[in-house]
Amino acid sequence: MNLHLKKNLAIGIAIASLFGCGGGSDQTSIAGAGATAAANSMAKNADPANIDESQADSDTVTKTALTNYVNPFVGTADSAAPATDPVPAGARGGTFPGATTPFGMVQWTPMTPSNGGQDQPVGYIYKENTIIGFPLTQMSGSGCSGNQGELPIMPTFDTSSVGVNAKPNFDHKNEAAKPGYYQVTLNDGINTELTATTRTGFGRFTFPAQSAIASTNKTPYLVFDATRTNTIASTTGVIKTEGKDALSGSTVGGKFCGARTYTLYFYAKFDRDITATISNGKANVTFDASKKPAVLMKIGLSYVSSDNAKKNLEQELPHWNFNAVRNAASHAWNKRLKTIQVSGGTDVEKRKFYTALYHSMLSPNTNSDVNGDYLGFDQKTHKVQDGRTQYVNYSNWDIYRSLIPLNSMLFPKETSDMLQSLVNDADQCGAIPRWTPVNVDAGIMPGDSGVATVGGGYAFGATNFDAKKALDYMTLVGSKADVQCTGDHVRDSVDRMNDYLVHGYAAMDNGWWAGSLTFEFGTADFATSQLAKALGDNMNYQLFLSRSANWKNQYNSAQKQLLPRYRNGSWLLNPQPNADMVEGNAEQYTWMSAYDARGLFNLVGCNTAAITRLDAFFQNLNAGMNLPNFYMGNEPSFATPWLYNWSGAPWRTQKVVRDVVNTVFSDGPGGLPGNDDLGAVSSWYVWAAIGLYPEVQAVSGLTIGSPMFDKVVIHWADGSKKLVIRASGAGTNSPYIQTLALNGKALDMPWLWLKDLKDNAKLDFTLAASQSQWGQDSSSSMPSFGLDGFTSLADALNNHGIGTDGQKTTRGLEGYTYDMGGWSYSSQALAAAGATPGASVSFNGISFTWPDGKSGLDNMVSQGQTITLAKAQAAGTLAILGSSTNASSAPSGKLTITYTDNTQASFDLRFDDWTLGGGSAKVGSYNKIALTSAHRVDQNGNTDSTKAYVYYWDAQLDKQRQVKSITLPYQTDNGALMHVFAMQLK
């Protein structure tokens, strides 16, 4: 039992005896709270992993066993392990202790002052001792202004002391919170209790006995204020009375990070007649509390209308039994928390775990009403499909890495609805949004994170949505220079996305944050490739997989770091943290492309060099933005501790992850290392504690750490199957895996495919305090999604570069053209020059096979592909047909030949621009013109008179050796792209 409940028990009993119960079974307000707290304390020592399912639904003690481990105050204070230089709004978790249900629309919580908005996120700040209202909505841990906090309601005897005029009015010793319930006794003796259903709030406000009120001539009030929110000092609000016992109205909220506003509607009903003095969006409500001092008020919300708010209230909360609603909310939370049941470990570790799991289920939030209505991105009322729920509040840049995979795995039905909601949003605004508060894309944070959310959700089990339509939107935004949703560029701006397409990286010429865009765009492209593969779309799988390798274009081989580049190919060698690279620095971003860990390690100097570098990186576990170290409090570093698993030193992952959970997280108000970002940080903790992590975005597998608990039982959504994880020897400082078995079969690799766990499965760990060499020989077997698995050039094709005169290319998108800016070779003009699909083209005495284009792809953008020959071949010449695009001068890149004896030879592959700069340049000595196309064709089928060329390049090889593989350049010296049509050894 947490400190707040323990202290409040005695206070509650004392208040009950002083003021009385107020009549009726539901009026046992304070004594009821104390009794429940006592029952919860009795349940503390129950073993969550062994709770009997039938008991859990019928017995109060076992039903509340897991909620008893949740401390909603975690994250409400500045971190107890603060970052040296936290991101803006990143010093505090930004969570709230108020009443809500899993993924609920209503999140009814106290609001404290924020020093004029200086203490971010705004909401509930533990160091304060003043409550300025209880708003009905709140984003958990979001770092921007406009994080909801609409319609604050305040019980008081003095209406002039409400809001900005409030003085210190409560003490934490008189405050308690549990999942679905919040309670505080204010200094004036008013006891406030809050609980909730999905779309409604239920308040019980117990005023002192009538004799105490009369002796001081006090009048009890509830003040409704529709003219302010957490961060909007003045907004438009309307309140009116509805009969003798109800209010309805609306308030204008929103402006999250500068996004547009929306209207929140409400309908509130009291358990007695009221008198309301209403003026300019504020209502001072009075009532007779002499006989029943516990005033009950229930309120429904809607983003569509007050009538819908009333319908929500009538359907979800038709009665006046506060305790029943509180118990139902607790049961709803317990049911969700039971999805993962742990045993062993300390009580502190259980509190940290279940609080993190709780925080992982606060968002996204229900937005549709009980009748299916919701307000869409087009500002029109829509109706969600029967059986579905529309959701809002996706901090996609934060949640795609850990939270969406977690919730997709545990709650595939709800998460499928969340993904369908994003598709619905796209239908209304033109693209999958990247950061969505209520019914708008806020257009914040770099990249295209909505795409990564959809891809990751599908991979981890949330598949019941229109994935084909989602893929259409994903390929749209990944192949067009400018796609917008509600007026915001989904991939930042036309210039940034145009750079990414035509250069393979977003150039620093675009200014602020541009240096980190490529890594985010590449992640989105990788997610697109994986969904395309899952849906059988091989063309887009190959095309977007190749684009996901664009991160290599920003790898600086001299500094061995991922650094920003300009359009001319030059480097920014000393980028400024949180200016050139968003909320981080070059060293932190260097480790971000975890989907190609093997490719990254090869560039930094292979496993030994990577281990040395990572060891230095983890000398600080919550560094902040400036220091070149791990930063647990922000998302770009989330995947890095697990990278040791690809290095042959998995014990280092086990140690680092355990050090993080032991030292950076705690079970008190300062228990989060940074702002929670709608559950992102908390979800990372959940994964870490169970010893698994979704390292590779949009790939349905998990890399392995070590469980904190003796036993973890994960119940799958079908209700009958489960994964049982046992960890013999588990302990706080016992992280090292000695042995591991899946269903009795020994494993020696820190990777598991989700499909092997989604039945009745058993994972058996043996752990110890001393490291072992378990998994040391597995690095080469770990899944890594680079461009190194090809046996022929045909396998590696990744670009659609030959158009047809008069025919529009795929949806007329730039990304399906040769230069990825809208122009391609003409198939008719190439045929006239001697190149037809699938036929031979001879030049310089060498016969090449021209691509047939049947797959929709007809050339390869050079991005470091390794083509390992099906049969080694001795040759004296390597000959290639190709050209470059968007090249002011011929780019050069290193091509490597690997012989069967593992010796290598490197060459400067170089191709002139395909149009010779529109005809203004001449062919260099390194090339010969093999084909001349008389004209080009654009994405819409229109032709021009610009000549386009295909060049011949060759290199002399050692005839005495056999060629095993050919590795193409992964970047060029001037930032232009090189393309290959055909390749031949002779």
Residue 673 near residue 86 (C-beta atoms within 8 A): no
- Sequence letter at residue 167: K
**Does the structure show a pLDDT above 90 at 26?**
no
Instruction: State the DSSP code for 781.
Output: G
What pLDDT score does 31 carry? Answer: 30
Q: In this predicted model, what pLDDT tens digit does every residue of 954-978 receive, in sequence order?
A: 999 999 999 999 999 999 999 999 9
Strand 802-803 versus strand 823-826 pairing type: parallel
Asked if omega into 564 is within 30° of 0 (cis), the reply is: no
Whether 635 is covered by a domain: the verdict is no
Q: Which of 729, 757, 783 is the last residue of a domain?
A: 783
According to DSSP, the residues that pair with 883 across neighbouring strands are: 979
C-alpha 850/C-alpha 835 separation (Å) is 7
pLDDT averaged over the chain?
A: 92
Mean pLDDT value across residues 311-327: 98
Candidate from 57-71, 361-375, 659-673, 869-883 with smallest mean pLDDT: 57-71
- Sequence letter at residue 503: H
**Shared-domain flag, residues 832 and 766:** no
**Shared-domain flag, residues 274 and 388:** no
- pLDDT grade for 35, boundaries at 50, 70 and 90: very low
Residue 593: closest CA among 568, 610, 574, 573: 610
Residue 222: closest CA among 159, 281, 177: 159
What pLDDT score does 211 carry? Answer: 55
What pLDDT score does 41 carry? Answer: 35
What pLDDT score does 55 carry? Answer: 36
**Shared-domain flag, residues 302 and 421:** no
**Shared-domain flag, residues 315 and 356:** no
Tell me how far apart the 2 most distant CA atoms of the chain are, in Å.
Answer: 109
Q: In this predicted model, what pLDDT tens digit does every residue of 439-450 receive, in sequence order?
A: 999 888 888 999
What pLDDT score does 493 carry? Answer: 85
What pLDDT score does 889 carry? Answer: 94
**Shared-domain flag, residues 97 and 180:** yes
**Does the structure show a pLDDT above 50 at 218?**
yes
Q: Where are the beta strands (DSSP E) in 515-641?
A: 555-556, 561-562
Residue 617: closest CA among 597, 635, 643: 643
Q: Which of 783, 816, 849 is the last residue of a domain?
A: 783
φ, ψ for residue 689, nearest 5 deg: -70, -30
SS3 at position 572: coil
According to DSSP, the residues that pair with 108 across neighbouring strands are: 99
**Does the structure show a pLDDT above 80 at 289?**
yes
According to DSSP, the residues that pair with 382 across neighbouring strands are: 374
**Shared-domain flag, residues 36 and 172:** yes
Residue 690 belongs to a domain with what CATH number?
3.30.2080.10
Mean pLDDT value across residues 324-353: 97
Residue 395 near residue 142 (C-beta atoms within 8 A): yes
C-alpha 466/C-alpha 416 separation (Å) is 9
Number of domains composing the chain:
4
**Shared-domain flag, residues 205 and 310:** yes
**How much of the chain exceeds pLDDT 70, in percent?**
93
Q: In this predicted model, what pLDDT tens digit does every residue of 812-838 receive, in sequence order?
A: 999 999 999 999 999 999 999 999 999
Q: In this predicted model, what pLDDT tens digit does every residue of 591-625 receive, in sequence order?
A: 998 899 999 999 999 999 999 999 999 999 999 99
Written as six digits, the tokens of 911 are 């191709």
- pLDDT grade for 33, boundaries at 50, 70 and 90: very low
Whether 595 is covered by a domain: the verdict is no
- pLDDT grade for 908, boundaries at 50, 70 and 90: very high
Residue 69 near residue 354 (C-beta atoms within 8 A): yes
Helix or strand holding residue 495 (H, E): helix 494-503
Strand 701-704 versus strand 692-693 pairing type: antiparallel
Other beta carbons within 10 angstroms of residue 335's beta carbon come to 14
Q: Where are the beta strands (DSSP E) in 790-835?
A: 802-803, 823-826
Residue 792 near residue 667 (C-beta atoms within 8 A): no
For residue 590, the number of C-alpha atoms closer than 13 Å in the C-beta half-sphere is 24
Residue 787 near residue 804 (C-beta atoms within 8 A): no
Q: In this predicted model, what pLDDT tens digit does every residue of 48-77 receive, in sequence order?
A: 544 333 333 333 333 448 999 999 999 999
- Sequence letter at residue 92: R
**Shared-domain flag, residues 65 and 132:** no
Whether 620 is covered by a domain: the verdict is no
Written as six digits, the tokens of 225 are 């204020």
Place of tokens 């409030």: 166
C-alpha 35/C-alpha 12 separation (Å) is 9
C-alpha 654/C-alpha 658 separation (Å) is 6
Residue 429 belongs to a domain with what CATH number?
1.20.1050.60
Other beta carbons within 10 angstroms of residue 906's beta carbon come to 12
What pLDDT score does 419 carry? Answer: 98
Mean pLDDT value across residues 838-866: 97
Candidate from 108-117, 679-688, 906-915 with smallest mean pLDDT: 108-117
Whether 626 is covered by a domain: the verdict is no
C-alpha 804/C-alpha 813 separation (Å) is 14
Question: 168-188 burial string, b = 16+ CB within 10 Å, else e?
Answer: ebbebebbbbbbbbbbbbbeb
DSSP track, 137-188: ---SS--SS-----S-EEEES-GGGSGGG------GGGEEEETTEEEEE-TT
Other beta carbons within 10 angstroms of residue 844's beta carbon come to 11
Mean pLDDT value across residues 909-924: 96
Q: Which of 783, 818, 849 is the last residue of a domain?
A: 783
**Does the structure show a pLDDT above 50 at 275?**
yes
Whether 622 is covered by a domain: the verdict is no
Mean pLDDT value across residues 372-381: 97
Residue 844 near residue 879 (C-beta atoms within 8 A): yes
C-alpha 625/C-alpha 671 separation (Å) is 20
**Does the structure show a pLDDT above 60 at 17?**
no
Candidate from 254-258, 411-415, 583-587 with smallest mean pLDDT: 254-258
The residues, ordered by sequence, that sit 6+ positions from 818 with a Cβ below 8 Å of its Cβ are 799, 800, 801, 802, 803, 824, 825, 859, 885, 914, 979
**Shared-domain flag, residues 377 and 290:** no
C-alpha 30/C-alpha 516 separation (Å) is 53
Q: In this predicted model, what pLDDT tens digit does every residue of 498-544 receive, in sequence order?
A: 999 999 999 999 888 899 999 999 999 999 999 999 999 999 999 99
SS3 at position 546: helix
Residue 281: closest CA among 304, 264, 295: 264
Residue 323 belongs to a domain with what CATH number?
2.70.98.10
Place of tokens 């989105």: 524
Q: In this predicted model, what pLDDT tens digit does every residue of 426-465 receive, in sequence order?
A: 999 999 999 999 999 988 888 899 999 999 999 999 999 9
C-alpha 835/C-alpha 308 separation (Å) is 65
pLDDT greater at residue 44 or residue 646: 646
Q: In this predicted model, what pLDDT tens digit does every residue of 676-690 receive, in sequence order?
A: 999 999 999 999 999
**Shared-domain flag, residues 730 and 815:** no
Written as six digits, the tokens of 458 are 């599908």
**Shared-domain flag, residues 821 and 946:** yes
Residue 244 near residue 274 (C-beta atoms within 8 A): yes
Place of tokens 């209406």: 159
Other beta carbons within 10 angstroms of residue 164's beta carbon come to 10
- pLDDT grade for 146, boundaries at 50, 70 and 90: confident
Whether 588 is covered by a domain: the verdict is no
For residue 613, the number of C-alpha atoms closer than 13 Å in the C-beta half-sphere is 21
The residues, ordered by sequence, that sit 6+ positions from 831 with a Cβ below 8 Å of its Cβ are none
Mark residue 472 as left, alpha or beta (left: phi above 0; alpha: psi -120 to 50; beta: remaining): alpha
For residue 68, the number of C-alpha atoms closer than 13 Å in the C-beta half-sphere is 22
**Shared-domain flag, residues 905 and 961:** yes
Residue 345 sits at the vertex; the CA angle it makes with 55 and 703, to the nearest 5 degrees, is: 100
**Does the structure show a pLDDT above 60 at 483?**
yes
C-alpha 115/C-alpha 465 separation (Å) is 44
506: containing domain: 368-582
The residues, ordered by sequence, that sit 6+ positions from 115 with a Cβ below 8 Å of its Cβ are none
Mean pLDDT value across residues 872-879: 96
For residue 356, the number of C-alpha atoms closer than 13 Å in the C-beta half-sphere is 28
What pLDDT score does 217 carry? Answer: 73
According to DSSP, the residues that pair with 763 across neighbouring strands are: 725, 742
